[in-house]
């Protein structure tokens, strides 16, 4: 039985269950979770099947969050593997995220153990990427019906495959190639059969890697951070955190502090009215001990009134009311070079992780750098910020923040850690003492400080050689930091880069850019430089001309240097992040408007910001190009 939920409903299914199935062919669906708590449409649970995944794929995985292993297409693989028992063939066309995904390491290990031969044909087409990476992925095999990588997976157990494999599973892999359109890919497949495909035979690594196998040296470097408390003292950073996951970005972020306050107050008022009404309903219906499930049947899911987080439904059942605290309005680093106002409140945000220890109140200053998260389909990137970062800082829901400091709350009264006047916070250095001792000893330099180590790490993480040499490792784990020759060179570079990236609003606008203005000359700046629709590159003969940006219907910027586009953050250049974020956006679900023109009283803020980012990009690449080669000491 496919997912164990049809028992008792179909005699046909029971009869099929009793058959000796040797071949399973299909195109499984994939759906790892509902998009929104407002959907009121939870995915089904398959207890027996999910238990099999738990003790096989999940047990062998080193990932912390293993939710994606319960995706329907992986459930289909697990079911089919069990269904054919000791001998048979499985062939699925499905999401290909298992090929190189960090969480899927346990799945890959299990498949190699359970089958005698595996054939994996990667058809690419991952359109959850952007820029050049998206173009390399090529056309989507199922057209608009797919955005993820698609792959053909053939699994063979027993028979001739077993006799051919003396040392274990034979793994055959084929990548269809870069820049191919959907039509070209289908033509390639149509002209091949199993025997004519140019298979690459792979020996999986001990970590479960099939492709992009890790460098053995990487594990010997000092860990940048660890979740395990016992190991933190030996890392570079004592504490790190995921970015903020609000679960309701359109309500929790806005370029206007006033509009944000209004949105949050409106949502809280509606939530509290739901609490009051549900309490009365329970009294009327005689429900003495209401549960979240009771509240879920009663509450209003209108997305224009509220965006429900998971905990909200349970809090309605408990009768817990919310209050709006204006002291919880922060400035946040929402995307690269894009700040917005944020309500940072554990009750109003889905997951705050460790960020409260890094940004306890808006008054406690801090800075650090954000790195691409594990298993990201984006190229490895890092970026310094001095405000609380959003989880999807790179445009996808993962990433880790390494702050220069953390904060410890001081008590009151006469205890040892009491604040001088009432409650307060003490700044704590987040670079470990062990790292400081190690760097001073290795480089025989007692003048090395914790600031130097922070900047050294940031400089090193920008090294193209480091990123290329350890690219496979950086997709599957947090950075590890080798000690290399030229400590001061990397530290100085890291300091310069930090100042550039955090101080981007103070950079000089790039002087070579030309503003071409059309229309009435007496148009006030507040209208002339206002953005509405998204900026775009000028098109010449069907090709994008990145030297010219159509800022709005009145203003065009030209003479933008090609050099500036070399500075990439994730899948976009820094300039393209500005284009991507600075336009008036109406959230269709909530009806909330977010207008970047509200951020500053300076009508030229956005156009000058674009010019400043060109300067930052050019200067960043000058620093990166002058980094010394990676000559590893230890």
pLDDT digits (tens, 9 = 90+) for 400-420: 999 999 999 987 555 555 555
Q: Which of the pair, 241 or 374, is modelled with greater confidence?
A: 241
Interacting residues of 14 by C-beta distance below 8 A, sequence separation 6+? 1, 7
Q: Report the pLDDT value the prediction gives residue 5, as an integer from 0 to 100.
A: 46
- Rounded Cα gap, residues 560 and 512, in angstroms: 7
Q: Report the pLDDT value the prediction gives residue 84, as an integer from 0 to 100.
A: 93
Q: Does residue 79 carry a pLDDT above 90?
A: yes
Q: Report the pLDDT value the prediction gives residue 423, as an integer from 0 to 100.
A: 57
pLDDT 10s digits, 6-39: 455 567 666 666 777 789 999 887 665 555 556 5
Distance separating the N- and C-terminal Cα atoms of the chain: 54
Q: Report the pLDDT value the prediction gives residue 16, as an integer from 0 to 100.
A: 64
Average pLDDT, integer, range 520-531: 94
Q: Report the pLDDT value the prediction gives residue 618, as an integer from 0 to 100.
A: 98
Query: What is the 8-class DSSP label of residue 477?
Result: S
Q: Does residue 524 carry a pLDDT above 70?
A: yes
SS3 609: helix
Average pLDDT, integer, range 161-172: 73
pLDDT 10s digits, 406-455: 999 987 555 555 555 545 899 999 999 999 999 999 999 999 999 999 99
What residues does 93 pair with on adjacent strands? 152
- Rounded Cα gap, residues 130 and 135, in angstroms: 8
Question: CB–CB of 31/148 below 8 Å?
Answer: no
Confidence of residue 4 (pLDDT cuts 50, 70, 90): very low
Match 């040296």 to its residue by tokens.
217
Q: Does residue 624 carry a pLDDT above 90?
A: yes
Interacting residues of 490 by C-beta distance below 8 A, sequence separation 6+? 455, 456, 459, 460, 463, 484, 627, 628
Taking CA atoms, 624 is separated from 157, 373, 464, 481, in Å, by 50, 22, 8, 18
Q: Single out the residue of 502, 518, 515, 503 nearest to residue 608, CA to CA.
A: 515
- Rounded Cα gap, residues 438 and 519, in angstroms: 63
Give this prediction's pTM: 0.86
Q: Does residue 591 carry a pLDDT above 80?
A: yes
Structure tokens at 86: 């000791």
Strand 368-371 to 117-122 pairing: unpaired
Q: Which helix (H) or strand (E) holds 131?
A: helix 131-137
Find the length of the chain: 634
Interacting residues of 269 by C-beta distance below 8 A, sequence separation 6+? none
Q: Quickly name the fold that domain 11-213 has.
A: Rossmann fold (3.40.50)
Q: Report the pLDDT value the prediction gives residue 395, as an integer from 0 to 100.
A: 84
- Rounded Cα gap, residues 409 and 83, in angstroms: 56
Average pLDDT, integer, range 214-235: 90
Q: Report the pLDDT value the prediction gives residue 67, as an integer from 0 to 100.
A: 87
- Rounded Cα gap, residues 605 and 412, in angstroms: 43
594 φ, ψ (degrees, to nearest 5): -125, 115
Confidence of residue 222 (pLDDT cuts 50, 70, 90): very high
Q: Which helix (H) or strand (E) holds 228?
A: none
16 φ, ψ (degrees, to nearest 5): -65, -35
What residues does 594 pair with on adjacent strands? 585
- Rounded Cα gap, residues 480 and 235, in angstroms: 9
Q: Report the pLDDT value the prediction gives residue 144, as an integer from 0 to 100.
A: 73
Average pLDDT, integer, range 89-107: 92
Interacting residues of 414 by C-beta distance below 8 A, sequence separation 6+? none
Q: Single out the residue of 158, 165, 162, 159 nearest to residue 203, CA to CA.
A: 165
**8-12, 369-373, 483-487, 512-516: least confident range:** 8-12
Q: Which helix (H) or strand (E) holds 424?
A: strand 424-429
Strand 338-343 to 253-254 pairing: antiparallel
Question: CB–CB of 371/400 below 8 Å?
Answer: yes
Q: Give the count of beta carbons closer than 10 Å to the beta carbon of residue 590.
A: 20
- Rounded Cα gap, residues 621 and 562, in angstroms: 12
- Rounded Cα gap, residues 399 and 373, in angstroms: 4
Q: Does residue 633 carry a pLDDT above 80?
A: yes
Q: Which of the pair, 304 or 44, is modelled with greater confidence?
A: 304
What residues does 482 pair with on adjacent strands? none
Q: Report the pLDDT value the prediction gives residue 375, as an integer from 0 to 100.
A: 67
Q: Which of the pair, 314 or 101, is modelled with greater confidence?
A: 314
Residue ranges, comma separated, of all CATH 3.40.50 domains in the chain are 11-213
- Rounded Cα gap, residues 539 and 536, in angstroms: 9
Q: Report the pLDDT value the prediction gives residue 609, as an integer from 0 to 100.
A: 98
Q: Report the pLDDT value the prediction gives residue 35, as an integer from 0 to 100.
A: 52
Q: Does residue 621 carry a pLDDT above 70?
A: yes
For 275-278, the CB contacts below 8 A with 24+ separation are: 275/315, 275/316, 275/319, 275/320, 275/321, 278/316, 278/317, 278/319
- Rounded Cα gap, residues 249 and 335, in angstroms: 12
Q: What's the burial of 605, exposed, middle or buried (CB within 10 Å: 0-12/13-18/19+)?
A: middle
Torsion of CA 570, 574, 576, 580, to 10 degrees: 80
Q: How confident is the prediction for the chain on average, in pLDDT?
A: 91
């Amino acid at each position: 039985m496919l997912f164990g939920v049809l028992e008792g409903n179909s005699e046909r299914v029971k009869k099929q269950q009793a058959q000796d199935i040797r071949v399973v062919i299909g195109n499984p669906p994939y759906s790892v979770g509902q998009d929104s708590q407002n959907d009121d449409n939870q995915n089904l649970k398959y207890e027996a099947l999910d238990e099999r995944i738990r003790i096989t794929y999940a047990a062998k995985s080193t990932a912390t969050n293993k939710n994606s292993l319960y995706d329907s297409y992986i459930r289909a693989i697990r079911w089919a593997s069990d269904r054919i028992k000791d001998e048979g063939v499985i062939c699925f066309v499905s999401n290909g995220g298992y090929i190189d995904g960090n969480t899927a390491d346990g799945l890959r290990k299990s498949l190699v153990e359970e089958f005698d031969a595996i054939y994996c044909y990667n058809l690419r087409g991952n359109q959850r990427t952007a820029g050049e990476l998206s173009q390399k992925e090529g056309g989507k095999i199922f057209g608009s019906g797919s955005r993820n990588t698609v792959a053909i997976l053939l699994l063979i157990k027993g028979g001739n495959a077993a006799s051919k494999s003396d040392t274990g599973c034979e793994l055959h892999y084929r990548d269809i190639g870069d820049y191919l359109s959907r039509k070209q890919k289908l033509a390639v497949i149509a002209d091949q059969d199993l025997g004519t495909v140019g298979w690459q035979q792979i020996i999986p690594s001990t970590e479960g890697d099939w492709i992009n196998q890790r460098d053995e040296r990487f594990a010997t470097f000092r860990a940048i951070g660890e979740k395990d408390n016992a190991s933190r003292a030996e890392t570079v950073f004592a504490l790190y955190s995921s970015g903020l996951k609000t679960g309701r970005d359109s309500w929790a972020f806005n370029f206007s502090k006033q509009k944000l306050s209004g949105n949050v107050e409106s949502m809280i008022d509606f939530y509290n009215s739901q609490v009051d009404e549900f309490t009365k309903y329970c009294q009327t219906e005689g429900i003495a001990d209401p549960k979240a499930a009771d509240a879920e049947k009663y509450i209003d899911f209108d997305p224009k009134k509220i965006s429900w987080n998971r905990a909200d439904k349970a809090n309605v059942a408990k009768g817990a009311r919310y209050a709006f605290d204006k002291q919880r309005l922060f400035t946040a680093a929402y995307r690269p070079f894009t700040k917005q106002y944020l309500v940072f409140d554990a009750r109003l945000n889905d997951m705050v992780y460790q960020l409260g220890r890094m940004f306890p109140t808006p008054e406690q200053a801090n800075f650090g750098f954000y790195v691409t998260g594990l298993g990201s389909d984006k190229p490895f990137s890092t970026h310094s910020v001095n405000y609380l970062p959003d989880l999807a800082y790179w445009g996808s829901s993962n990433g880790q923040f390494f702050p220069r400091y953390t904060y410890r709350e001081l008590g009151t009264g006469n205890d040892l850690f009491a604040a001088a006047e009432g409650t307060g916070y003490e700044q704590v250095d987040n670079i470990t003492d062990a790292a400081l001792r190690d760097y001073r000893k290795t480089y025989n330099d007692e003048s090395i400080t914790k600031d130097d180590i922070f900047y050294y790490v940031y400089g090193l993480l920008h090294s193209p050689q480091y990123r290329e040499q350890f690219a496979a490792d950086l997709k599957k784990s947090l950075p590890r930091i080798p000690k290399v020759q030229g400590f001061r060179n990397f530290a100085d570079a890291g300091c310069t880069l930090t100042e550039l990236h955090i101080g981007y609003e103070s950079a000089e606008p790039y002087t070579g850019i030309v503003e071409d203005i059309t229309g009435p000359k007496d148009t006030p700046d507040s209208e002339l430089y206002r953005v509405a629709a998204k900026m775009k590159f000028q098109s010449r003969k069907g090709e994008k001309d990145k030297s010219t940006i159509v800022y709005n219907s009145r203003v065009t910027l030209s003479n933008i240097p090609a050099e500036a586009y070399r500075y990439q953050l994730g899948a976009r250049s820094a300039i393209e992040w500005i284009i991507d974020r600075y336009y008036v956006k109406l959230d269709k679900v909530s009806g909330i408007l977010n207008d970047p023109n509200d951020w500053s009283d300076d009508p030229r803020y956005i156009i000058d910001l674009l010019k400043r980012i060109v300067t930052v990009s050019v200067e960043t690449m000058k620093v990166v190009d002058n980094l010394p080669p990676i000559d590893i000491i230890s």
